[in-house]
Amino acid sequence: MAEPTQIADIVSLTGLTPHTTELVLRPIERSILFKPGQWLSLQLPFGDHPPLNRAYSLAEPPSPTGHLTLVYDHVPEGKGSCYLSSLRTGDRISLSGPYGRFVLPDPDSKNLLLIGRYSGLVPLRCMILSLARQGPLPPTTLITQAPGPAEQLYHEEFIALAKSHPSFRYLPLVSDDPTNMATTIAAIRQVAVKGQNFTPMIAGIKSFTRPLRTLFMELGFDRREVRLETYD
């Protein structure tokens, strides 16, 4: 069933990297309860047939303030992300949610292998922060692929997390071509030792997510065991 649409205030807009922005929203009608990994639908008054609906994953677990944190990358000539770039603190936006089933598996059931391309890291970060707030992280490996060294989202945060949580492994990779998967595949093959009990969760654009699902199926996973969040 569709979630009701409501208005939210823009609390802040902060550049995280040269081409990504963090957007903090405060819903003014009712708070939104969500699970890490879920997303909101923004209804943007833009385009030939407004509203333009665009999905954005929540980047931080629920907070007592009720603020909602999203992160978007500036897609060249992308209609939605260009509109978001025109917004300022104090502006208002329509949204609904939460939506989505890309959420953590049952507690303690498996180790996690999380793989995100660029802003695909956003839902994975929300899951990791949520787990870290509950105590020591379960065995978790995070493989990221950024389009450039300056575009590595939350890089310092994950380095610090790996230092404070011995069970958390962070493998940051850089490639300007999402279809250039060689280093990502090599990293996965190293980590995904046969017979190990882990859940692969992959997020990003389909030219990144789909070949990786195929890889996991070659490694013996059932298609449904490989959890995907595909952005386009």
Ligand X SMILES: Cc1cc2nc3c(=O)[nH]c(=O)nc-3n(C[C@H](O)[C@H](O)[C@H](O)COP(=O)(O)OP(=O)(O)OC[C@H]3O[C@@H](n4cnc5c(N)ncnc54)[C@H](O)[C@@H]3O)c2cc1C
- Residue 73 lies near ligand X (rule: CB under 6 A): yes
Stretch that binds ligand X, among 77-85, 108-116, 167-175, 218-226 (CB under 6 A): 77-85
The set of long-range contacts for 42-51, using a CB threshold of 8 Å and a minimum separation of 24, is: 42/80, 42/84, 42/93, 42/94, 42/95, 43/5, 43/93, 43/94, 43/95, 43/96, 44/80, 44/83, 44/84, 44/93, 45/94, 46/79, 46/80, 46/83, 47/79, 51/94
Q: Quick one: which of 17, 69, 119, 140 contacts ligand X (CB under 6 A)? A: 119
Instruction: Please report how close the Cβ of residue 10 comes to ligand X at its closest, in angstroms.
Output: 16
From the list 54-62, 129-137, 144-152, 163-171, the region that binds ligand X by CB under 6 A is 54-62
Exactly one of 108, 177, 218, 232 binds ligand X (CB under 6 A); that residue is 232
# binding residues, ligand X (CB under 6 A): 20
Site string for ligand X, 24-43 (x = CB under 6 A): ---------------x----
Residue reference for tokens 């009990």: 197
What distance in Å separates the CA atoms of residue 69 and residue 66, rounded to the nearest whole number? 10
List the structure tokens of 59: 């980047």
Q: Shortest Cβ distance from residue 106 to ligand X (Å)?
A: 22
Query: Would you say 191 and 210 are in contact if contact means Cβ atoms under 8 Å apart?
Result: no
Indicate the residue whose CB is closest to ligand X: 78
Nearer Cβ to ligand X (10/75): 75
CA distance 173 to 149: 9
86 or 197: CB nearest ligand X = 86
Pairing of strands 140-146, 168-174: parallel
By beta-carbon proximity to ligand X, the closer residue of 167 and 175 is 175
**Interface with ligand X by CB under 6 A: which range of 71-79, 126-134, 137-145, 185-193?**
71-79
Which H/E stretch holds residue 193?
Answer: none
Q: Within a 13 Å sphere around the CA of 182, how many CA atoms are in the beta-carbon half?
A: 4
Residue ranges that bind ligand X, judged by CB under 6 A = 39, 54-57, 71-73, 75, 78-81, 100, 119, 122, 205, 229, 231-232
